[in-house]
Amino acid sequence: MEQYCEQSGGQVQGRQPFWNTNGDQAQWLALAGSATMCRFQADDEAKSRIYVDLTTLSSTEPTLAGLAYLSKVPMPSSTGGGNPATAYCSTELNASSSFGGGAAGGGWVNTTDPDDVVVSLCVFPDGSFVDEWGLAYHSAGDVRGKDLAAVMKYQPSGALPPVFPTGQVQPSR
């Protein structure tokens, strides 16, 4: 899976969960566990990025994260002061922000990442994940990092399974 990430133009990256990442870094609480993901960065002015779990990227079978990405479920207009990508993940995709809402926050940390020390993931019940902002932007047709539809091994031959009923297959190859 790691080799497939690199062959697809990504970078394998390990991250550790931390709590309180909205606070002073000296007060962050390291949590048990880790996650390995593939990081794709575009060669654009913004150096846009997207992070995805290795299984979603390399499996010929669908994952919920992959289906959510392919479905491009529309993101509603943001209301209120919360993180719209987190709200989109939980409300529209019935998934979970990896640390839920709350002022203290939390996320997946890699202190050597030059652009995103902390990443928030949209985690689905099957354990698959994509970063929240990557999904949110993609719902409006904006690709961050790389279009995962072009590199995921899962390529539906017809209509997507009706997990996200508003979705449509987007040709990728």
Q: Structure pTM?
A: 0.88
Amino acid sitting at position 48 = S
Give the pair of three-digit tokens for residue 54.
């290795």
Give the SS3 label for residue 145. Answer: coil
The C-alpha angle 130, 136, 139, rounded to 5 degrees, equals 105
Give the pair of three-digit tokens for residue 45.
């002015």
Q: Please give the Cα distance from 170 to 173 (Å, whole number).
A: 9
pLDDT digits (tens, 9 = 90+) for 63-122: 999 999 999 998 887 656 678 888 889 888 999 887 655 556 788 999 999 889 999 999
The C-alpha angle 61, 63, 64, rounded to 5 degrees, equals 150
